[in-house]
Amino acid sequence: MDHEQKAENKAIAVPKFSEKHTTRLKVIAAVFTVVGIGLFAYFIYSVGFYDILSYIEKFGTVGFAVILGAYLVRIAARAWAWKLSVFEPYNLRIKDAVEAVIIGEALSSMIPLGILVSGTSKAVAVRKQVPLVVGLSSVATENLFYSIVTSIFLILGAYTFLRSFTLEEGWVFTIDALIVVIFVVLLFIITLIVRQWHFASETCEWIYQKGWLTGILEHGRMQVRLFENFIYGFYREYPKRFLPICLLEIAYHLIGVFEAWFILERISAVMPSIVSAFLLESVSRLITIVFKLVPFLIGVDEAGSRFVAETIAAGAGIGVSLAIIRKGRIIFWTAVGLVLIIGRGLSLSHFFEHHEH
């Protein structure tokens, strides 16, 4: 790597969190993890270990192989969307992108603070194919498309859930508030991109001038500006890629709905509806976003699936078993991610080093 590229990589590095902030996040993650383990044990006990085991046995090895394949297709969809987010003249091979996404998902799933390095790890994993600056900016661009499509997916899920079932007044208010918040955030993001407002960097600059978070924002505010420029530059240069990227992000979610339907179809006594699978997947996606600090979403995923399953009259056992089966899928692909990390001669410290410097 030449001097210019090194300087470029350094310029776009993710800002380093202070030890105090990192410690605080570790404490929060540890608390969430302990609570999650407690919830997991409670749900196993309340539903019954042997009842859950019977559902898993009913699902079978063939069923598990199908959802492993379905998840690989989901990964490929996001990897292709990422490939389309790379600026020319650089090009990312789909094979490299798929492996990098698997690595990123593995770190995000198994490490309490994995959310802090999951995006960076993708760029680090393909640093021999494209410069780190290109990898990081393209990951940020793809994540933006993913966030927009996911927001729409969550709004549709929340609206469907609210209008399809009779819920307590407290839940109605919470879901209505969630819909409004997500819609406002989505509208704001789209407006930022269309009008190309440097809102994030200007906000960071204002906070820095007030003397707040100076340790993080000393270099971080310039990096935020750089990321904004990359994203707006992509918007100007490649508008024809927007639709294919959005369709790939939609496919990612639709395959998730199929996965939920397929699991229900194999373990439930009645034929599940697409709406039921859609609700389970949308709630699962929301839980994934909110409780990303909890390794493997232990406990919290089971709680969400049980709540939806009971609401749609599928039964608590079905909901908890579905979450556990999906957790098995996550563990499998996390193991694959670790094999890829080892095969590339990397260690976990490589990803944290690139995150911090």
pLDDT of residue 115: 63
Average of pLDDT values for 303-328? Answer: 89
pLDDT in tens, 297-307: 888 888 889 88
Residue-by-residue DSSP string for 265-309: HHH-SSPPPHHHHHHHHHHHHHHHHHTTTSGGGTTHHHHHHHHHH
Lowest mean pLDDT among 74-88, 156-170, 270-284: 156-170
Residue that is written with structure tokens 């395959």 in the block: 255
Return the higher-pLDDT residue of 82 and 127.
82
Return the higher-pLDDT residue of 352 and 141.
141
pLDDT in tens, 61-105: 999 999 999 999 999 999 999 999 998 889 999 999 999 999 999
pLDDT of residue 347: 63
pLDDT of residue 62: 96
Give CA–CA dist 108/221, Å, rounded: 25
Lowest mean pLDDT among 123-132, 138-147, 191-200, 280-289: 191-200
Q: Is 102 helix (H, G, I), strand (E, B) or coil?
A: helix
Q: By C-alpha distance, which of 55, 61, 115, 65 is closest to 323?
A: 55
Global pTM value: 0.84
Average of pLDDT values for 158-162? Answer: 88
pLDDT over threshold 60, residue 132: yes
Provide the pLDDT confidence category of residue 336 given band limits of 50, 70 and 90.
very high
Give CA–CA dist 40/34, Å, rounded: 10
Average of pLDDT values for 261-265? Answer: 95
> Do you know the residue count of the chain?
357
Q: By C-alpha distance, which of 143, 117, 107 is closest to 16?
A: 117
Give CA–CA dist 317/322, Å, rounded: 8
Q: Do residues 84 and 241 touch, judged by C-beta distance below 8 A?
A: yes
pLDDT of residue 237: 86
pLDDT of residue 113: 61
Return the higher-pLDDT residue of 18 and 148.
148
pLDDT of residue 333: 95
- Highest mean pLDDT among 65-74, 163-172, 343-352 belongs to 65-74
Question: What amino acid is encoded at 111 in this protein?
Answer: I
- Highest mean pLDDT among 184-188, 214-218, 352-356 belongs to 184-188
pLDDT of residue 161: 87
pLDDT in tens, 4-48: 444 344 444 444 445 555 676 667 777 878 888 898 899 899 889
